[in-house]
Amino acid sequence: MLKDITLGQYYPSDSILHKLDPRVKFIGTLVFIIALFLVRGPVGYAFATAVLAALILLSRVPVKFMLKGMKAILLILIVTMLFNMLLTPGEPLFSFWILTVTKEGLVTAVRMALRLIYLVIGSSIMTLTTTPNQLTDGMEALFSPLKKLHVPVHEIAMMMSIALRFIPILMEETDKIMKAQIARGADFESGNFIRRIKNMIPLLVPLFVSAFRRANDLAMAMEARCYHGGEGRTQMKPLIYAGRDRTAYFLIVLFLAGAVVLGILGL
Amino acid sequence: MGIIRAVKLAFDYIKYGEDDAGSEKVRALDQVDLDVEKGQFIAILGHNGSGKSTLAKHINALLVPTEGSMWVDGIDTSSEEELWHIRQKAGMVFQNPDNQIIGTVVEEDVGFGPENIGVPTPEIWRRVEDALDRVGMLAHRSKSPNKLSGGQKQRVAIAGVVAMRPECIVLDEPTAMLDPNGRKDVIQTVRELNEKEGVTAILITHYMEEVIFADRVIVMDQGRVVMQGTPREIFSRVEELKALRLDVPQVTELAYELKKAGVPLADGILTREELVEALCSLN
């Protein structure tokens, strides 16, 4: 059961998107999301759809993986669509019982749905083509100006990458403890919700104890290897922009400009 | 003066009782004198709570002596400014392989130490490659550490220390959580580093078989050094070791029992070959 959870849904491949600098991908995703809220009309959405399709093709990730993320937002999607359809005032399209679907409602509902779906696909293109580590590095580099405001950017990035390293280990440990407790008669499956939560205690207590022990060990090991924060630290894999990254930035600016124009024209 | 020198080293830690029952000082190390020459292979033995890990942490300045002093390559470990210098000179490998690997990729983990001491990027790559090659893990450089066996992880941890170009490596029970194969690989790696590169090795262990290659064995009990000498000297004192709740290598034990039963054998036989030879030359 615990094996099914995979974090950072990276899909290994060597497409051009995989090779891009994580900073470019991060900013590109951000721009794409902003653009989704700028465009209104059918031409605008056609433009966004074309760009998204091109990105999917470039990423060489099977579409199946992109759609996986849909499952998580299905409920939100249905609820937003329903509310928009039923509660937007305007020209009634058809009605049954006390519910009336308006024309304006239908348009808004479709627009919202498209926005949500594109948003999820757009961000999963980033997570599918970037390893969690690259993502952390990229974020650290992008947010490093915040260091001047005493935001511990390096420390946060280090914590994130350590968390990523320890998730599979703690997962395995949870599995082990679970089996050990089941062997001693613990019951994790039956009973109502509250009972089940209560039954988790014999799992959580040893897990936390061991997590703290690991944290302590790791801190000592890091100190033993001269870790003393981000100051005076060099990087083994520093992020350096290549030609393709500059091209990508240029395309992102172009895309943003296109979206702004379409948004203003209301097409 | 040797690379590691301790003079009248003592360390107290404070043990807090349960339910605020007050605290008491516990002396973990007491009057420890140590002098290790550069390039030596030292083994430290002792049962749980004998202070051997505490001593190891002093070499890396993770702990600072309460009394007495400790020098690593002529630097006093209690001087705060030299802290990172000391830790670079004396690398440390811990018991649990999972809890000391920081990187999510093998090569990134090995690069962690050099990154911390500010080595320029191209030099880090050279060092990482070189270190991984020396521990025989170059083929696994782009794997996730989670996919490696315990022995492999421990060799990655050793590479992480080697990449910092230390004078000395302290290994705190590096094989305690490994299977026999992993154990052999790790010890082999440490021996090679010691013999070929002249890196001083300090190995803390429970396994007597790992000790017989050492230049010198130090036996600790209740925070004190109780025996010191070559493996042969130490293992010929079987009775004393047993009194300290320590084992001797199987072969040594067999020779000892044979001798007690009346077979005229020398003291401190360490390897199977030695025993075979000794037994064959009886007639």
Tell whether B84 is within 8 A of chain A (Cβ): yes
**How distant is the Cα of A66 from the closest Cα of chain B, in angstroms?**
25
Return the CATH number at B22.
3.40.50.300
Tell me whether residue B261 is in a domain: no
Average pLDDT over residues A223-234: 85
Tell whether B147 is within 8 A of chain A (Cβ): no
Residues in Cβ contact with A105 at an 8 Å cutoff, skipping those fewer than 6 apart: A84, A85, A86, A87, A88, A90, A93
Tell whether B129 is within 8 A of chain A (Cβ): no
Cα-based distances in Å from B161 to A56, A83, B115, B144: 43, 60, 12, 18
Tell me whether residue A234 is in a domain: no
Residues in Cβ contact with A235 at an 8 Å cutoff, skipping those fewer than 6 apart: B115, B121
Tell me whether residue B280 is in a domain: no
**Separation CA B16–CA B18 (nearest Å):** 7
CB burial of residue B162 (10 Å; 0-12, 13-18, 19+): buried
Same domain, A76 and A160: no
Could you report the predicted ipTM of this complex, rounded to two decimals?
A: 0.85
Place of tokens 């060597």: A14
Q: What domain range includes position A179?
A: 146-224
**Separation CA A37–CA A194 (nearest Å):** 41
**Closest CB from A133, A162, A217 relative to B100:** A217
B115/A237 touch (CB, cutoff 8 Å), yes or no: no
Which region holds residue A166: left if phi is over 0, alpha if psi is between -120 and 50, else beta?
alpha
Name the domain count of chain A: 2
pLDDT in tens, B76-105: 888 888 888 888 899 999 999 889 998 888
A224/B91 touch (CB, cutoff 8 Å), yes or no: yes
B102/A218 touch (CB, cutoff 8 Å), yes or no: yes
Tell me whether residue A233 is in a domain: no
Rounded to two decimals, what is the model's pTM? 0.81
Tell me whether residue A137 is in a domain: no
Tell me whether residue A138 is in a domain: no
- Look at residue B217 in the predicted model and tell me its pLDDT: 92
Name the domain count of chain B: 1
Strand pairing category for A99-102 and A92-96: antiparallel
In this structure, what token pair is assigned to residue A203? 């799992």
**Closest CB from A161, A162, A235 relative to B121:** A235
Same domain, A170 and A248: no
For residue A133, what is the nearest residue in chain B, using CA coordinates? B104
pLDDT in tens, B40-51: 999 998 888 888
Which region holds residue B229: left if phi is over 0, alpha if psi is between -120 and 50, else beta?
left
Mutate to test the interface with A, among B84, B105, B115 (most CBs of A within 10 A): B115
Q: What domain range includes position B182?
A: 4-248
SS3 assignment, position A211: helix
- Look at residue A266 in the predicted model and tell me its pLDDT: 76
Tell me whether residue B253 is in a domain: no
Is the Cα torsion angle B152, B91, A154, A156 positive or negative in sign?
positive
Tell whether B228 is within 8 A of chain A (Cβ): no
**Separation CA B142–CA B148 (nearest Å):** 11
- Look at residue A2 in the predicted model and tell me its pLDDT: 39
Tell me whether residue B240 is in a domain: yes
User: Treating both helix axes as pointing N-terminal to C-terminal, what angle do A42-59 and A103-129 enclose, rounded to 10 degrees?
Assistant: 20
User: Treating both helix axes as pointing N-terminal to C-terminal, what angle do A22-38 and A103-129 enclose, rounded to 10 degrees?
Assistant: 180
Parts of chain B with a pLDDT under 70: 1, 17-22, 283
For residue B165, what is the nearest residue in chain A, using CA coordinates? A225
Tell me whether residue A83 is in a domain: yes
pLDDT in tens, A166-196: 888 888 899 999 999 889 888 887 778 888 8
B114/A164 touch (CB, cutoff 8 Å), yes or no: no
For residue A215, what is the nearest residue in chain B, using CA coordinates? B99
For residue A158, what is the nearest residue in chain B, using CA coordinates? B102
- Look at residue A7 in the predicted model and tell me its pLDDT: 46
